[in-house]
Structure 1
């Protein structure tokens, strides 16, 4: 596999950054994950942190050398994120459940597998045009799907920021899985929070993704979002990847050069989080142990 990848996150006009994002890769697979902690609920940063770290740890644990059933893996691990968030809520004695959106891309065998919950998005651009986009789990997206509003009306609808599906809370998430997509030379994938796509026109995003250097693409998109969010806006975060054997940008990675057992992970983690890595890892480990015992119980019953 050969690709070029970059990520970035900015606080914007909010008092702190609740977005979390990361990518991880080895010789046979790549994972990109972005979570947007929901500011309307307390401790959204905790939920986003748990989401990203749980997904990265699962990828590192189960993708050697490859994941047998990628879509099933994404669904199961995202549901587990929800469970871990609730576990952390109980352990930290939080009054309210932390909540977050999530969008995850897994690339394996030259195919893109994607899953999401909420309104963080994945775009796939091919030859400068949008080939695929996830559909938000939002009130306005539902109204558009039902034909009750137009795309133009979505932009100014009073409920445009309300979502009905997330990680954390009383209801388990409904994970949206996209059909696998065979990647082609030059394809560009963009994962971003609503702080980006709410502020940057789709045409401008597509044009920015044409930059020869994928880091420039990220910088330009975040600059646009930042400029449009000077007084009113959200945290803004994005990960972009350019795919292909002919990629020659300075940030190009060829996984064929990596040792078989080596995994590289780059995580964007703003300061100020009141949840330690040990606490998250302990919560994940406890959930894993509970799942293992449950599976053993089922086998004994059989």
Structure 2
């Protein structure tokens, strides 16, 4: 696969409530690869799980760049499955890690496309022509209830008291993991945002859009404003984000 190099800006913060930052991020700009994992709050050693996920996925994906016949979606799925196995193996070897888990979102840029995969509620967005689109769909109880028609929107479910942090999928929870994968074209001017739910739960979709479009291409400024807004709105969880500008 021909690599599409990227320029990326990263921000991560433990937030105003958590004692440590359990999120992990890997960015390889010349390889067009971004991996973001959110160690799940309330579980043991979430930071270990997220770090293992990022490391395993990165090292699993890199050898495939030289294989022109490789299918990116299959590669991403296999890499995430390998991360799940690594986390489960660590729990067997180290009893103190029992119960650790993480979400993950992966973006691989090449040949004017972005191939992506995710498990959990860490997200990938695309900004194009002043429109912000969420490319991933959360693996969460609240999203499942909306999909089943019990609520018309996530906001309606939240207003009804449904908790947003109950996940239906995560790495380290079970031996067999279902990875959602997808692909999107990439055109000049596109900006992509990968983030943990510490951002998406604290900053509304509209505010994200306003910040990104109001930055006038200054990604450093946009990333800092996104982080500052999440902190200002409570910072109830670790906050991590990567803004990506593909280099055509």
Taking structure 1 as the reference length, the TM-score comes to 0.75
Given that 1:33 and 1:102 are in contact with CA atoms closer than 8 Å, whether structure 2 keeps it comes out as yes
Structure 1 residue 86 corresponds to structure 2 residue 88: yes
Structure 1 residue 221 corresponds to structure 2 residue 221: no
- Judging changes above 3 Å, is the alpha-carbon distance between structure 1 residues 67 and 137 closer, same or farther for their aligned structure 2 residues? farther
Q: What CA distance in whole angstroms lies between the structure 2 residues aligned with 1:204 and 1:16?
A: 26
Q: Which residue does 2:64 correspond to in 1? A: 62
After TM superposition, give the deviation of residue 244 of structure 1 in Å: 4.5
Q: What CA distance in whole angstroms lies between the structure 2 residues aligned with 1:108 and 1:226?
A: 34
Given that 2:90 and 2:97 are in contact with CA atoms closer than 8 Å, whether structure 1 keeps it comes out as no
Unaligned ranges ≥5, structure 1:
246-302
The alignment yields a C-alpha RMSD, in angstroms, of: 1.7
Unaligned ranges ≥5, structure 2:
none
Among 5, 18, 24, the alignment partner of 1:20 is: 24
Among 5, 9, 13, the alignment partner of 1:10 is: 13
Given that 2:84 and 2:175 are in contact with CA atoms closer than 8 Å, whether structure 1 keeps it comes out as no
Q: Which residue does 2:130 correspond to in 1? A: 128
Q: What CA distance in whole angstroms lies between the structure 1 residues aligned with 2:134 and 2:164?
A: 21
- State the number of aligned residues: 240
Q: What CA distance in whole angstroms lies between the structure 2 residues aligned with 1:60 and 1:3?
A: 16
Q: What CA distance in whole angstroms lies between the structure 2 residues aligned with 1:42 and 1:15?
A: 13
SS at structure 2 position matched to 1:15: coil
Q: What CA distance in whole angstroms lies between the structure 1 residues aligned with 2:141 and 2:38?
A: 17
Q: Which has the larger radius of gyration?
A: 1
Structure 1 residue 168 corresponds to structure 2 residue 172: yes
Among 36, 44, 47, the alignment partner of 1:45 is: 47
SS at structure 2 position matched to 1:149: coil
